[in-house]
Amino acid sequence: MIVRIATEGQYEVPDDDAATLEQLDNDAVAACDAGDEQQFQATFTRLIEHVRDKGQPVPEDRLEPSDVILPPPDVSFEEAQAEFSGEGLIPG
Amino acid sequence: MPGLSGRMSTVIKAKISKLLDRAEDPSETLEYSYQKQIELLQNVKKGIADVVTSKKRLQLQEQKLRDQVVKLDTQARQALAAGNEDLARVALERKNVAQTELQSLDSQIAQLEQQQQQMTESEQKLRAKIEQFRSKKEVIKAQYSAAEAQVRISEAATGVGEEMADVGLAMQRALDKTENMKARADAVQELEAAGTFEDLTQLGSGEDDIDRQLRELSSGSEVDAELARMKAELGAGSKSAGEIGAGSEAAAPAGDPAEAEQAGPSPSAGQAP
């Protein structure tokens, strides 16, 4: 499974880790919805670190789209809450 | 995935299809995508140049502040030598603020340095991918049937498109941060020009009142300590710390008026918040 950490790069993560990632991802969203910034930052940091830890950086000569794209590591709570809708984080 | 990553993927995908939408057949996708890649690479270069310009500007301002610190220090010494302790205190307070601002400038410059490096890396990565894309498109054209070529081309184009969208995002974020720093640097410059140096403490990024009060306390005691040190150096002792300071009140910032009546350095951090 290829996971991209936005603004950082792609990682090849073992498929076994999908469940863990999904759990952390959902927890981060739950914290976001609950307005719990501290919880969000803690969960999101764990999510990013899990990918860096378990994943292998994808070499530059591979041109494959990612299965999953995570927000940038320095995403702010407000940005995460903004649901990345419309133009969102991505410049037009 | 429905979570943050799912939303992020959706947005990136929308962005990629926007990038590739205009092309109708595979070879057009290749050429259009390639052309877009080259364009973005130019933009990244421009972005790096912007960051470098901002960095230079901050470095210039840093130098000005350094000069300011030296100047205020000299003024404090002169004031103290002339027996005007209140004026010396004002100068030292301003010096303290200038030093704090200097520290924050230093860290901003370091951040810009880091951003410059990150963008340079992004540029290299994108360049490598574009190169890969270019050679791959020739292989695809030569080796595959039209139908299969279309699938492979669109996969490769999506892969590069994702990289492009991501580099675009990284660049946008870097430039936004740079913009914020510029705005702050401008604000500082205006304050400096208006001579309201003491208000600089209010520009601290994201600190709350408690942080500020704590810093004021420590800056107060730092000022006291420095004043004492200067006095010792000058051998001015306590004899100069009389009523001579009255003339300096106009130059004093909105401090505690009671402070002016005290003889000698205050042992407590006597500034009103």
Instruction: Give contacts of B9 with chain A, Cβ < 8 Å.
Output: 66, 68-69
- Residue found under tokens 């184009």: B157
For the cut 60, the answer to whether the pLDDT of residue A18 exceeds it is yes
User: Which of A22, A28, A69 lies nearest to residue B9, judging by beta carbons?
Assistant: A69
Closest Cα in chain A, distance from residue B202 (Å): 23
Tokens describing residue B104: 């924050």
Cβ atoms within 10 A of the Cβ of B240, count?
Answer: 18
| CB contact set of B50 (below 8 Å; sequence gap of 6+) | B175, B178
Q: Nearest residue on chain B to A32, judged by CA atoms?
A: B4
**Phi, psi for A79 (deg, rounded to 5):** -65, -45
Instruction: Give contacts of B1 with chain A, Cβ < 8 Å.
Output: 21-22, 25, 68
**pLDDT tens readout for residues B51-90:** 888 888 889 889 988 998 998 898 888 888 888 888 888 8
Sign of the dihedral through C-alpha B110, A46, A12, A87: negative
Write the Ramachandran bin of A38: left for phi over 0, alpha for psi from -120 to 50, otherwise beta: alpha
List Cα–Cα distances, B20 to A37, A43, B98, B163, in angstroms: 37, 35, 51, 13
Instruction: Give contacts of B172 with chain A, Cβ < 8 Å.
Output: 90-91
User: Which of B5, B129, B169 lies nearest to residue A91, judging by beta carbons?
Assistant: B169
- Asked if the C-beta of A7 comes within 8 angstroms of chain B's C-beta atoms, the answer is yes
For the cut 90, the answer to whether the pLDDT of residue A12 exceeds it is yes
Q: What 3-state DSSP class applies to B26?
A: helix
Instruction: Look at residues A7, A18, A19 and name the one whose alpha carbon lies nearest to residue A70.
Output: A7
Interface touch B173/A74, C-beta < 8 Å: yes
Per-residue confidence (pLDDT) for residue B2, from 0 to 100? 54
**pLDDT tens readout for residues B258-269:** 444 444 444 444
Q: How buried is residue B47: exposed, middle or buried, by Cβ count under 10 Å (0-12/13-18/19+)?
A: buried
Q: Nearest residue on chain A to B19, judged by CA atoms?
A: A92
Instruction: Look at residues A83, A52, A17, A13 and name the one whose alpha carbon lies nearest to residue B4.
Output: A83
Q: Nearest residue on chain A to B172, judged by CA atoms?
A: A91
Task: Write down the ipTM of this complex.
Answer: 0.78
Instruction: Look at residues B170, B167, B185, B176 and name the one whose alpha carbon lies nearest to residue B55.
Output: B185
Q: Nearest residue on chain A to B12, judged by CA atoms?
A: A90
Interface touch A63/B15, C-beta < 8 Å: no
Q: Nearest residue on chain B to A64, judged by CA atoms?
A: B159
- Asked if the C-beta of A73 comes within 8 angstroms of chain B's C-beta atoms, the answer is no
Cβ atoms within 10 A of the Cβ of B28, count?
Answer: 12
**Phi, psi for A35 (deg, rounded to 5):** 75, 20
Interface touch A89/B11, C-beta < 8 Å: yes
Overall average pLDDT of the A45-65 stretch: 90
Sign of the dihedral through C-alpha B118, B107, A45, B12: negative
- Residue found under tokens 């903004």: A82
Q: How far apart are CA A92 and CA B197, in angstroms?
A: 40
Q: What 3-state DSSP class applies to A68?
A: strand
Q: How far apart are CA B155 and CA A67, in angstroms?
A: 13
Question: pLDDT in tens for each of the 273 residues of chain B?
Answer: 456 777 777 777 777 777 666 666 666 666 777 787 888 888 888 888 888 888 888 898 899 889 989 988 988 888 888 888 888 888 888 888 888 888 988 988 998 888 888 888 888 888 888 888 888 878 877 887 777 877 777 778 788 888 888 888 888 888 887 777 777 767 666 666 655 444 333 444 444 454 455 455 556 677 888 888 888 888 744 444 444 444 444 444 444 444 444 444 444 444 444
- Where are any strands of DSSP class E within chain A? 2-5, 9-12, 56-57, 68-70
